[in-house]
Structure 1
Amino acid sequence: MAGGTMTRAATVAFLHGGSHAQLATLADPALEPYRIRPVHVRTGDLDDIRDVDVLVVADRLRPDLLTRWTDTITDCLGRGATVVVFGENNSGDWLPGVREVSRPTVFWWWRTGEDHRLRLRSPDHPAWDYFSEHSVIWHYHGVLEPPGRAVSLVDLHTEDGERDGSVLFVDETTTAGRLLVTTMDPVYHHGSGFMPGATQLLCAPRP
């Protein structure tokens, strides 16, 4: 209730492929307050996402099935929705102005002592009110070059210390909406029950 008027709860849709990790994530009681609308990438109707305020594109969707949805997803951005695209979805093939290149990842750097080469960026961005360092530095499946005025939150660097690309960025200027893209795959790891940090990224607020 605000100023005597009822405020509408945001509608949140979750585009998924029915994998064990995705279904386990949807069944997590911690996400119940969001009243998420599950939409299956194979059997769902495009109208299932046309009116949502927030659309989450689960990681690791089959590219041949995701293709049917990409125009509608970009339409969501055009009308002002927030769209979150997780990793291994070939984002560079269909998101406007985004380039993506695969990279070998350092899976267990906290055990081996290797430098993960991930660096936090844009410390004054409001997104850092929700993300902790632990939630955004675990691993990745490539680097992104976002549209020109997008803001990278986490960059990968080469062994020589040069910037290689972004693994997490926010774009609030290219379209009327807000786009968050990462090459991390938190749904898979949260639903599978392993990988420190994945759950924190998926659930966003600081622990």
Structure 2
Amino acid sequence: MKDIGFVTSSDGAHLQCYQDFKAYLDEEIYLPMLGNVDLTGFKAIVVPDFSNQALLQRHARQLNDYLAQGGFLIVFEPNRMDEWLDVVSVQWFSRETEDWKWWMRPSGRMEAYQPEPRHSMAKAIPLADMCWHFFGAFRFAEGATPILNLDNDEGCLMYDQPLAGGGRLIASTIDPHTHHGRRFMPATTRFLNGFYPWLKAEVQGRD
């Protein structure tokens, strides 16, 4: 079994990310051809931000079945996973970053924090490397572990949810791949530099 499959819509940012992190990724999966791929042959599948929405809808059943059969799916926004994941309830709501230019201001900060006790991903990636902006938020999922929350716990920007049958979903409303691939927003590069080594170790630790 392979460790990590990376789904790409052939967006230039996706392709650049795959090249940059291919040491941790086992296969690039072309989204239009997803139906020809046996996802159960991967310990984890990453769906990067700004994937093709129509194609995600078209292949929704396959992605849901992967989760239901014990797969580990990581989805970054804005991919509106609440509209195509039905094996698990994903409650997304509209919520904009209060100040999109906070990072340009002295002592500026995004209105988010890492809950305690910290998730293993948060131990691998500091808060500063998880903050640039976000696209909406999630209602907290019962039984999930929060990774990144809004200050007042109004919503969760990233959580890790185990499913019956052994499946696992990491849902996120941040968009690191698009920014890193286009070489804009250094925090996103730092995030992915921590995320992919963490994910590789995480899936290998499940053996």
Per the normalisation by structure 1, the TM-score is 0.82
Equivalent of residue 132 in structure 2, options 123, 134, 138: 138
Report the equivalent of 2:40. Answer: 50
Q: For 1:126, which of 115, 120, 125 is the aligned residue? A: 120
Q: Are 2:111 and 1:117 equivalent residues in the alignment?
A: yes
Structure 2 CA distance for partners of 1:125 and 1:25, relative to 1, 3 Å: closer
Q: Secondary structure at the match of 2:135?
A: coil
Say whether the 8 Å CA contact 1:46–1:69 is kept in structure 2: no
- Distance in 1 between the 2:157 and 2:186 partners? 17
Say if 2:62 is the partner of 1:68: no
Number of paired residues?
192
Q: Which residue of 1 aligns with 2:4?
A: 12
Identity %: 26
Counterpart of 2:205? Answer: none
The residue aligned with 2:49 is 59
Secondary structure of 2:66's counterpart equals: helix
Counting only pairs closer than 5 Å after superposition, residues 11-30 of structure 1 correspond to structure 2 as: 11-28=3-20
Task: Find the aligned partners of 1:46 and 1:176 in 2 and give their Cα distance.
Answer: 24
User: Which one has the bigger helix percentage?
Assistant: 2
Does residue 187 of structure 2 align to residue 193 of structure 1?
no
Deviation at 1:71, TM superposition (A): 2.0
Q: 1:175/1:200 Cα in 2 relative to 1: closer, same or farther (>3 Å)?
A: farther
Q: CA deviation at 1:64?
A: 1.3
CA distance in 1 between counterparts of 2:63 and 2:73 reads 8
Q: State yes or no: 1:181 paired with 2:171.
A: yes
Secondary structure, aligned partner of 1:45: helix
Please, which runs of 5 or more residues in structure 2 have no aligned partner?
199-207
Structure 1: where are the runs of 5+ without partners? 1-7
Partner of 1:101: 93
Instruction: Give RMSD over aligned pairs.
Output: 2.1
Residues of 2 paired with 1:48 and 1:198: CA distance?
30
State the one-letter code of the partner of 1:120.
Q
CA distance in structure 2 between the partners assigned to 1:45 and 1:58 by the alignment: 18
